[in-house]
Structure 1
């Protein structure tokens, strides 16, 4: 079979199934008796196994099959879920992910997993982990069969009342276990046909899985139904077996512990006094179930698009933006009414097109966040800590370019929070805190930016310790340290090589590598701030632009050279008297709204040739980076414009204070200023 054309789909869907395995295994660990979750895990593993076998990746298929066997044993009550079992299954999922990534990079997905397979085999045989002492019989006709036990455990008090009243009125409460053939292609259609027969024979009270899951084909080959009817089990079995692609049908009387132990006289009295009302109640859920079953599933109109195609589309649109600027300039100079009207219309349409293209590139930050629950679980185990992870705003969208870059900085910040932020359970208890620490990830939109916050309720940052370390490292002087605000002190831990950790661990040292985090975020046009309170916790807040491809700038001119300052970093522009410029610490400064703001002459920074202007006033662009501000001295303001950010290429990667370039409407090249690098 020619598989090349399906390879990308296989890789994408395999990654989705592996993520689903991780997510559901974490949920199962919280609630080990939730067999619905086990079914979800089993389904993902089963699908991944089939896909791998079809594509010819036998190692991947074999390992998934071994993992599937363990899940099947749990699902059939032959094994209890334990942390030890989950550790092995998690390790298997890690290996599956490594094999898929190998395939994505051009390999064959081969990996030596003999030791892991033996562990899975041992679990399946029950040689390593204790088995459930209950019956392991697979006969669904026995009262203690796994499927019946599952269905009985889902019955609520209202449904028990319905079943009791039905039995008192001469109806039978029957449980049907139905298995479809392995080669059944239209499972939902077969389920619908079964429900049609059952509806004619009685009233459906409950199904497992739920009707919605059956309709969406979120089940394997078998399902069970609880029915109130006057027909015999043999008659029902014959009717259901007439549906094609049905493998087996078993029917038995449904019994539940509360039903058999009820106080008979009380129930009989209640039944005799409210016979009509209870009959109507019994019909209500059944009709609701069947009405739901008859609804056709809604199809989602989406397609997978290779990201390279979106990049190519964006590149073409960027050229269109450049030509649009040129046309606007020509129309303004010619003053031709019809031409101006046409250009204005084209500008509006291209603006709408720009929004559509940018939205197509936006992806949920969940693509980054979804790796963290599993990571936090493992780190908590390694560190001997108890951590509750809370994630909010995972649906917040960012440009795919930003998503690709932000993952590693977030991983580092989380590692720091767990290692040196959240205390050990015993230490937390001594401080009067819960033994379980809290780590929260929150993402949200604000204007043209996305904010990501990583907060913990740990030990916080010791201000005095930071200041002492900063002074000893020569980062600040004692006099400077005394004048620093709380937030400015915390920002010191982002300096290169700075650390307050008494011991550097394998996981992290708070401060070690945080300069890399800071540099990465600032290279994306963002910034990071830190707030902390001793013994209360810390909050690392990251601000990022929504997109990096097309940005709004203020065009300025220095002599005959044009520069672009990103609007996201501009507070305002001002024209000031040169006589108001003062000196402090050998630097030019101005008093801007009660704050001392240093001035930076861009002609000096970029060594622009030409005489200094001898005028009474000068033009200043006030920029901000966190709480710090600076004023950029320029010759003139040209105006605001949307421009396409272009890289300077591999030969000009380290140009100070320049993040890229753009082509203006008149064909000139303007350099885009990296405002963050100008503020120290």
Structure 2
């Protein structure tokens, strides 16, 4: 069977199931007696195993099969949830994620997981990892058959036609040399009397002799038990044959679904929406490339919409103006819908952090509770794809530098367990993500000392710095306050990368801290990156676009209000002195001669965090939604320019990046 066409579906489903395993494992660690969580983990592992086996990814199937064995013992109260079980299952899940990622990159999901399989086998058998394989006791109890819904239905239909479901356990001699051949002969004899529905271990494992001496089959037959036993006993090197009627009350792999159809149906119906009860689906999976292509087409429509609006005003025809206005309203609704289609919950990023926090806290000998809020907050897919790594850096920074050790927290009168809060929320056209801890806060003296030794500031300058300016120093390239280099920190790589990445997304990052109380990093991000609301301005006969998200205010400034500080023009803006920059000078544009000297200067106040700068322009044109297009390889790394757009009259306008201009 050609499975290539199903790979994308397999990847999507696998990621969902692995995330479910991760989430429920974290809950199970805190509630080890909650067997409902074990059932959920088992169900996800069971489904993943089935999909992987169907697709031919044997390493994934092998590992999930052994996970199933351990989970099955737990859910049947034959094994307790211990730290070892949780740790090994987490490690197995991480390996499964790596194999799924390899498949996504075009590989076959190959990975040596034998050590994990062995660990799970030892947990299942209750032996120490150091014991020899031969010392693991062989179970002699009857094998518990797990049937899916299809197999249960087959048995019911067979019984209606006079067949009996027999559970047949066959044991070969200890000195049997050709076990696979004997298995073949047993199956041949069984199939003469009926149909073999299932075997434990699976047929593939029996053929490869991956079993001890026993195997069990489920046989649908009209023969008696004595006849079946007599026929199999004729096969040489068979030590014993035990056969019995399959119990009527048999657990299925889907949590007794076949046993209680009415009850399960009732529960299922209660949880469904009216549409679901009617059998209709309200969602479909769409390849993200198709949505991106649709978005590109719509961006072209936005450009043409702007051109039509300009042309209709020039022509002055009432009917044309009315039609264009209606089209504008419709396309704006389409734009909102398309942007919504591109929006995905930030939960996709947040989901990876609980396990990471658990692992890091364990490595550092700290106790940390992670609290996540606003995981359903939605962001543009492009932003979500890019924000993961910066958040990883910030969380690792909070765990390593922020939260103290249990002993130190106890000395300070705090609980031994630290708290790390991850919060996301909407505000206007932005999404804010907060990373907050209740640790020791940022040590001002240590930061200043390190900044002076690195040559970032002078000793005289350090005395005049506000706390906000000191905290800003931690984002300098190569800056680190760690005393020792470790796997987690101390190499001077991290927060500068975080700031650069966030600013490249059109966002800002702000830091607040209180000594011995904790720190808070706040990231402000735009909802989307493709279509921007901007202010068009004129500079030396050229039109530029400034994103509205960065604009604090526009001002007509009298020339008499311009002051100078160290030869740098500045202005007073609501009690705060901010620098003035001329876009004409920054972009080295030839000055335009005017007939008469103007008494006012047009100024755009832009903000980045707590910092503001005034940008001098020739005039304001007005607000306009524009499509951001990358400059690509034509004009790489142009200072203070983030991209370009095409205006309604066909002219190209450059989009200013205010972050690079704020001093």
In the alignment, the residues of structure 1 paired with residue 549 and residue 643 of structure 2 have an alpha-carbon distance, to the nearest angstrom, of 16
What is aligned with 1:406?
Answer: 387
Q: Give the structure-2-normalised TM-score.
A: 0.79
Summarize the Cα distance change of 1:577–1:479 in structure 2 as closer, same or farther, 3 Å threshold: farther
Is 1:17 aligned with 2:20? no
What is aligned with 1:308?
Answer: 289
- For structure 2, the residue ranges without an aligned partner over 5 or more in a row are 131-138, 158-244, 251-261
Q: Deviations over 1:282-333 (max 9, x none)?
A: xxxxx99996576584435111111101100110000000000000000011
Task: State which of 650, 653, 661 in structure 2 corresponds to 1:667.
Answer: 650
Maintained 8 Å contact 1:416/1:509: no
What is aligned with 1:48?
Answer: 48
What SS does structure 2 have at the residue aligned with 1:652?
Answer: coil
Pairing 1:283-302 to 2, within 5 Å after superposition: 292=267, 295=270, 297-298=272-273, 299=276, 300-302=281-283
Is 1:183 aligned with 2:150? yes
What displacement does 1:458 show? Answer: 0.6
Maintained 8 Å contact 1:420/1:510: no
- For structure 1, the residue ranges without an aligned partner over 5 or more in a row are 131-135, 141-145, 147-177, 191-245, 252-286
Summarize the Cα distance change of 1:293–1:526 in structure 2 as closer, same or farther, 3 Å threshold: closer
What displacement does 1:656 show? Answer: 0.6
Q: Deviations over 1:149-190 (max 9, x none)?
A: xxxxxxxxxxxxxxxxxxxxxxxxxxxxx9865634889x99
Q: Give the structure-1-normalised TM-score.
A: 0.77
What SS does structure 1 have at the residue aligned with 2:552?
Answer: strand
Task: State which of 456, 470, 475 in structure 1 corresponds to 2:451.
Answer: 470
What is aligned with 1:215?
Answer: none
Summarize the Cα distance change of 1:570–1:297 in structure 2 as closer, same or farther, 3 Å threshold: closer
What is aligned with 2:309?
Answer: 328
User: Paired residues, what number?
Assistant: 548
In the alignment, the residues of structure 2 paired with residue 316 and residue 84 of structure 1 have an alpha-carbon distance, to the nearest angstrom, of 53
Summarize the Cα distance change of 1:37–1:293 in structure 2 as closer, same or farther, 3 Å threshold: closer
What is aligned with 2:357?
Answer: 376
Summarize the Cα distance change of 1:104–1:558 in structure 2 as closer, same or farther, 3 Å threshold: same
Summarize the Cα distance change of 1:293–1:88 in structure 2 as closer, same or farther, 3 Å threshold: closer
What is aligned with 2:112?
Answer: 112
What is aligned with 1:249?
Answer: 248
Is 539-548 or 107-116 further displaced after alignment? 107-116
What displacement does 1:123 show? Answer: 1.3
Summarize the Cα distance change of 1:129–1:672 in structure 2 as closer, same or farther, 3 Å threshold: same
In the alignment, the residues of structure 1 paired with residue 263 and residue 94 of structure 2 have an alpha-carbon distance, to the nearest angstrom, of 42
Task: State which of 379, 396, 399 in structure 2 corresponds to 1:418.
Answer: 399
Q: Deviations over 1:251-283 (max 9, x none)?
A: 9xxxxxxxxxxxxxxxxxxxxxxxxxxxxxxxx
Is 1:454 aligned with 2:421? no
What displacement does 1:9 show? Answer: 0.5
What is aligned with 1:197?
Answer: none
Maintained 8 Å contact 2:571/2:580: yes
Maintained 8 Å contact 2:482/2:489: no
In the alignment, the residues of structure 2 paired with residue 577 and residue 341 of structure 1 have an alpha-carbon distance, to the nearest angstrom, of 40
Maintained 8 Å contact 1:597/1:629: yes
Summarize the Cα distance change of 1:289–1:88 in structure 2 as closer, same or farther, 3 Å threshold: closer
In the alignment, the residues of structure 2 paired with residue 99 and residue 511 of structure 1 have an alpha-carbon distance, to the nearest angstrom, of 31
What displacement does 1:55 show? Answer: 1.1
Summarize the Cα distance change of 1:137–1:380 in structure 2 as closer, same or farther, 3 Å threshold: farther
Maintained 8 Å contact 1:180/1:248: no
What SS does structure 1 have at the residue aligned with 2:150?
Answer: coil
What is aligned with 1:133?
Answer: none
Q: Deviations over 1:391-447 (max 9, x none)?
A: 000000000000000000000000000011111111111111111111010000000
What is aligned with 1:640?
Answer: 623
What is aligned with 2:604?
Answer: 621
Maintained 8 Å contact 2:403/2:437: yes
In the alignment, the residues of structure 1 paired with residue 342 and residue 270 of structure 2 have an alpha-carbon distance, to the nearest angstrom, of 34
In the alignment, the residues of structure 1 paired with residue 367 and residue 404 of structure 2 have an alpha-carbon distance, to the nearest angstrom, of 9
Maintained 8 Å contact 2:474/2:495: yes
Is 1:586 aligned with 2:586? no
In the alignment, the residues of structure 2 paired with residue 428 and residue 348 of structure 1 have an alpha-carbon distance, to the nearest angstrom, of 58
Indicate the RMSD between aligned Cα atoms, in angstroms: 2.6
What displacement does 1:495 show? Answer: 1.4
What is aligned with 1:361?
Answer: 342
Summarize the Cα distance change of 1:460–1:356 in structure 2 as closer, same or farther, 3 Å threshold: same
Q: Deviations over 1:516-560 (max 9, x none)?
A: 100100110100000001111000000000000001001011112
